Amino acid sequence: MINQTILRRALKTAQLLERKGKLVCSAVSLSVFLGVTACNLLSPEEPGALVPPTAGEDAALPQLRIKVAERERAIHLQTFGEPDRPLLMILHGGPGADFRLLLPLQELADRYYVVLWDQRGAGLSERVTKEELTLDSFNEEISAVQAAVAPGRKVTLVGHSYGGLLATRYAATYPDAVEQLVLIEPGPITPRGRRNYHGGEIGFAAVEDFFWQNELLTSSDHAAADYKANNLLPEASRSFTCSGEVPSEYPMWRFGAFHHHVLTHTNQAPDDDFNWAEDIVNFQPEVLVVAGTCGAAGANFQQTYNLEALPRARFTIISGAGHLTLFLDYAEETLAALRAYLIEYY
């Protein structure tokens, strides 16, 4: 567990390194999650000094360039399976996370063309401006990825956590473009749910202050903020576990702190009355909702607040699983739930 004294010292060290260009451990920010350290003599101004570089900084990363909100950006994207198979696209959580946690879902590539990517400004995708991170831009982003990887074809959408909210809104807005919809422990879909949700609250005060004071952010600014945010995530994930302890494993490459800030602390965040499932009645297929029994986003929350917003929902509970362990310790059970619903396994 990272206590606050250690965290403050780590952040102070990071700030000093950023200013002075001293020895930096390139994987220090991820050592909590991956158990890896690798020190290099890098200036903190160089990509990869504090956190892994983004697709905009590292051409070797698997990536795709898409145009959204009138700007072309490089997104970190991987595909699995044969391109002529039915399309299945997976939306990660956050806002600000990446798809590393969801990699076990690549097993669905035995029947589907599986596409995972980090949303613009999040994970290892290129960092973007505030103006590019509107709610409507995520519908545009999903459409852009779909058009690039499988033009003219319907998509099966799988969304986890915040990604479940994005997937719900896309299916409600473009029901004819979506074949099937899977929501794995989606966040609060309705205003009533948001008022009663207490999961994954991140103590970003120091990072938020940085953003309010800086209108123009450089790559090194983003790296420093993401480094600080990465170190706060394990503590914030207590509410998603069975025991209430800091999770021992948190697979993530890099968190997009500014992406998170814009979508939670600015006028581009959903307002108190926003309903992610507005017009979902236009989406005719049954929706699969999967949840574990542990944590703030588990079965109790889904049954009490989210299922009422989804008039045609099938609900599957995975006993003993939490928000993260659905893809770690309980990956086989999660995959079995998806295969029991997806039409390509009929």
Between 270 and 26, the more confident residue is 270
What is the pLDDT at residue 5? 42
In tens, the pLDDT along 220-247 reads 999 999 998 888 888 888 889 888 888 7
Q: pLDDT category, 1, cuts 50, 70, 90?
A: very low
pLDDT in tens, 58-84: 999 999 999 999 999 999 999 999 999
Q: Which domain holds residue 142?
A: 1-346
**The pair of three-digit structure tokens given for residue 234, joined into one six-digit string:** 């394990």
Task: Please tell me which residue, 103 or 11, carries the higher pLDDT value.
Answer: 103
Cβ–Cβ under 8 Å, residues 181 and 172: no
Residue 216, exposed/middle/buried by CB under 10 A (0-12, 13-18, 19+)?
exposed
159, β-bridge pairs: 91, 183
pLDDT class of 101 with cuts at 50, 70, 90: very high
pTM of the model: 0.86
Domain total in the chain: 1
pLDDT of 24: 37
More confident residue, 307 or 33: 307
Confidence band, pLDDT 50/70/90 cuts, at residue 252: very high
What is the tens place of the pLDDT at every residue in 295-331?
A: 999 999 999 999 999 999 999 999 999 999 999 999 9
For position 212, what pLDDT does the model report? 65
| Pairing mode of beta strands 313-318, 287-292 | parallel
Asked whether residue 22 carries a pLDDT value surpassing 70, the answer given is no
Place of tokens 């703030």: 296
- Give the CATH number, domain containing residue 320: 3.40.50.1820
